[in-house]
Structure formats: C-alpha cells, structure tokens
C-alpha cells in the first residue's frame, strides 16, 4: 500500500512529456537521417552541438522549458484542441480549435518563420529550431490534436497493471516504452534505426511521399493543419473507436496495446520524416536564400478571437499542460 501511495503521489508531481523523451528523441534521430549535409552543418552550428545526437539532445527541451516561469507561455503550443465528437466525428478546424493564445499549428508556423529570419539573434534562432524539433513531433500524437477530456488526460485507465494511468500518458510514454523497453537515447537511436529501415525499403517506403506531399513553409498553417488532421482522424479510428467507456473496461495491455502499437510506430516515423523534410525546405528557401525575410507577425497567424469554449476552459484549468502523471 505504501508503494502504491507513493506512485499516486508521484503522479501528481511530474508532468508528462509529449511522446515522452523516447518518442521525441526517436523523431529527432529519424529526421537526422533525412536532412542534407548542409542542413546538418547549419543545425549543429545553431545548436552548438556537433555530436551525432544534435537534434535528439534538444528534442524534449520544449517540455522542460514550458515548466519554467519564462516558458509558461509556450504550454499551449504543444497541442490543438479539436472540438469534435469522437468516435462519431473527428476533424480539425483551425479557427475553431486554435485558441487565442496559440496552439501547435500556429506555433509551427511562427517558429518556421523565426528559424529562417536572419534579423533575429542567435539565441532566438536556436530557440525556434528547438521548438520546431519538438512541435512537429507533438502534432503527430493523436491526443495532442483532440479536446475530448483535455486530450485524454482525464480518462482514467489501467495499463499493464497500473490502475491510475490516464490515456494521454499511455500514448505519450508508456505504450512506446513498453515496445522499446526503455527511454534512453540509445533506446531511441535503436528504434529510429528500425523505423528508418521501414521508411527506406520496408512497409513505409510506399507511404513516405504522401506524408510530405504539399508541405509548404510559405503556407505553414495549412501544412500543419493537415498534419494535425491526419493524426486527429486516428482518435476516431484507432485511439477510441468504441468510445471512452470501452477503454475503462479492464487492462489496456495486451489487447488494446496490440491494436494501437503499429499506429504509434507509424506516427513516430511520419514525424521524423516530416521534420527532416521541413528543415531541408526551411534551409533551402529561407537560409540559403538570405534575401527572403519573414514579414508576418505572430498575431497575424492566430485565428480571430472567440469566446472560450468549455474545452478551452477545461484546458485552462490544467494550466495548459498535457497532464501530470508518472508511474
């Protein structure tokens, strides 16, 4: 009983990192396999890191930063709250779903501009790159594109014997870690190597072109909204096809786990491939072509102000966080 009480106590103290450190580092390692040599050199210079983990080392920085006083503003950038009706209907509407303080879609658009804006300081460009590495990972996690129960944070479930889990935490962290067996950088590198093989010549080789089709840094809102919509559709078809109540009947391991793990791997692969391609485009169009400068301010990216919905108020009550849980 003492051990269980300790676990419950810890669950209230430590915030969950979207996709977990394992997922985000894996996304970054995959991206490193697809950036050009020029982009690699540029990113290493921006980050001040010439190691073979230059993107992976900063992949979860945004989760740490949002927990600080200085970074509190960025908490809302980790998700977009689709106010749809799963499992009956899943859809993203940018004007409806992105709050007045921003969301993952607007953040990707903003930091895409900033990372290629030569007028900014080195520190600002580095921050923008670190945010992009993280948010392009976040937006592929289906529950980061869903408002229901604040992205699944208030759906209490049992996973692998842990009776106090929430669905969001399981998708972010515990399902991926169950597959891989750990959350270290070496675990992420191993997973990324496996997924990269699938992208190059395996099950994903025929799909990868569709993952980046139409991606356009000059219309980043449309691009990121498409990425969010792609992941959001999975809330209805994979995450909760039979509704919330069905998720709370028994242990999600192994039956539910087995039904979703292939989707988890697919989404991680998508995120890494998209990130690598996105950085290549940013570099070729905005870094090399130094005459191009960002002229759109962040406030112009945001949708028109709307009264706070119940879903937005619920997220506000969580202080913008993606939940707090740790085994």
Q: Annotated catalytic sites, by residue?
A: 19, 24, 63, 66, 78, 134, 138, 144, 168, 172
Distances from the Cα of 7 to the Cα of 177, 196, 320, angstroms:
18, 36, 23
Give the C-alpha separation, 59 to 63, whole Å: 9
E strands, 95-218, are: 156-159, 162-166
Phi, psi angle pair for 140, to nearest 5°:
-90, -5
Using CB atoms within 10 Å of the CB of residue 66, give its burial: 0 to 12 exposed, 13 to 18 middle, 19+ buried.
Answer: buried
Listed in sequence order, the residues at least 6 apart from 32 whose beta carbon sits closer than 8 Å to its beta carbon are: 40, 52, 54, 55, 56, 276
CB of 281 closer than 8 Å to CB of 217: yes
Give the C-alpha separation, 122 to 104, whole Å: 23
């Amino acid at each position: 009983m003492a051990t269980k009480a300790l676990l419950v106590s810890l669950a209230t103290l430590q915030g969950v990192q979207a996709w977990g450190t394992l997922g985000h580092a894996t996304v970054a390692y995959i991206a490193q396999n697809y950036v050009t040599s020029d982009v690699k050199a540029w990113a290493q210079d921006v980050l001040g890191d010439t190691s073979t983990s230059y993107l992976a080392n900063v992949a979860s920085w945004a989760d740490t930063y949002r927990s600080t006083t200085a970074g509190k503003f960025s908490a809302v950038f980790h998700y977009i709250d689709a106010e749809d009706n799963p499992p009956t209907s899943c859809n993203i509407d940018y004007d409806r779903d992105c709050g007045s303080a921003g969301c993952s879609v607007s953040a990707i658009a903003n930091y895409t501009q900033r990372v290629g804006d030569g007028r900014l300081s080195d520190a600002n460009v580095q921050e923008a790159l670190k945010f992009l590495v993280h948010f392009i990972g976040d937006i592929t996690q289906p529950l980061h594109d869903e408002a229901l129960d604040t992205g699944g944070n208030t759906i209490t479930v049992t996973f692998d014997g842990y009776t106090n889990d929430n669905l969001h935490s399981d998708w972010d962290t515990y399902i991926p870690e169950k597959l891989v067996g750990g959350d270290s950088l070496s675990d992420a590198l191993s997973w990324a190597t496996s997924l990269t093989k699938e992208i190059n010549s395996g099950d994903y080789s025929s799909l990868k072109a569709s993952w980046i089709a139409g991606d356009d840094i000059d219309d980043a809102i449309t691009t990121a909204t498409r990425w969010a919509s792609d992941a959001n559709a999975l809330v209805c078809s994979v995450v909760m096809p039979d509704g919330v109540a069905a998720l709370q009947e028994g242990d999600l391991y192994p039956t539910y786990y087995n039904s979703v793990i292939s989707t988890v791997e697919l989404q991680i692969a998508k995120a890494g491939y998209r990130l690598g391609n996105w950085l290549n485009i940013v570099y070729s169009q905005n870094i090399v072509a130094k005459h191009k400068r960002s002229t759109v301010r962040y406030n112009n990216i945001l949708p028109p102000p709307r009264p706070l919905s119940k879903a937005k108020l619920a997220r506000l009550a969580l202080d913008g966080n993606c939940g707090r849980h740790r085994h």
